[in-house]
Amino acid sequence: MPIHEEGARRLRCVLPFEAAAQELHQLRKEVKRTLDRWGVRGLTDEAELIATELMTNVIKHVGEGASASLVLEVRGDRLRVEAHDESRAVPTLSAVCGEAECGRGLHLLASLCEEWGTLLTEGGKAVWCELSTEPARHCMRVRRAALVLAEYRRVAGASSALTPTFAVLEESVTDVITDLLHWLQAQGGDPDETLGRARMHFEAEADVA
């Protein structure tokens, strides 16, 4: 049962769960319900994704059926998401993954969040991450774009050994857009019309931000 602490200076919810795949859907529903209640709807998609990744890591690395809890808390202009479990083994973000799923969840957290980390507790550990609540829509688009760009560079065979410069990333953005236009044209779409709509959406949202 969710445990809520709500007051003038505190919004906090503890969601106990069992580390099992069948619990994922219910956990995401509770995350959405809580953020709707707090009026932080703009971060629902990201928070649900983060909750899923954190819970999946507990299942994989602590064990099926392990007792755990997810904590949601609004701290100033940040939404903090924490996954608590009974293991004291601290996860690390590997620079290079030999296996397909190695470190996937942690790399995703690093891409989505403003900050993330781990801390040891009396009963085990907590993996936490924080999302900015302002401006939620703009941050969401920027983080989604960062994920798309990172995956595109991986598929294109770009080296992950060095941090790319802005000029390199800017060129990759151009390549992504070019490939999407080729795909659109192959499907019978109109690249010019789509670019025009995208520009209109970007300018409208930039004015709001």
Structural domains of the chain, ranges and CATH numbers in brackets: 3-132 (3.30.565.10), 136-208 (no CATH)
Q: Quote the pLDDT of residue 106.
A: 62
Q: Quote the pLDDT of residue 149.
A: 85
Residue 96 binned pLDDT confidence (cut-offs 50, 70, 90): very low
Q: What average pLDDT does the segment 101-112 reach?
A: 60
Residue 72 binned pLDDT confidence (cut-offs 50, 70, 90): very high
Residue 160 binned pLDDT confidence (cut-offs 50, 70, 90): low
Q: Is the pLDDT of residue 101 over 70?
A: no
Q: What average pLDDT does the segment 119-130 reach?
A: 91
Task: Give the percent of the chain with pLDDT over 90.
Answer: 32
Alpha helices in the chain (DSSP H): 24-38, 44-61, 104-112, 136-155, 166-186, 191-208
Distance set, CA 107 to CA 83, 85, 88, 146, 155 (Å):
16, 20, 20, 12, 16
- Taking Cα atoms as reference points, which of 110, 93, 99, 206 lies closest to residue 150? 110
Q: Is the peptide bond before 164 cis (omega within 30 degrees of 0)?
A: no
pLDDT digits (tens, 9 = 90+) for 8-61: 457 899 999 888 988 889 999 999 999 999 888 888 888 998 898 888 888 888
Q: Quote the pLDDT of residue 29.
A: 92
Instruction: State the Cα–Cα distance between residues 209 and 205, nearest whole angstrom.
Output: 6
Q: What average pLDDT does the segment 175-189 reach?
A: 94
The residues facing 75 across adjacent strands are: 78
Task: Give the percent of the chain with pLDDT over 70.
Answer: 81
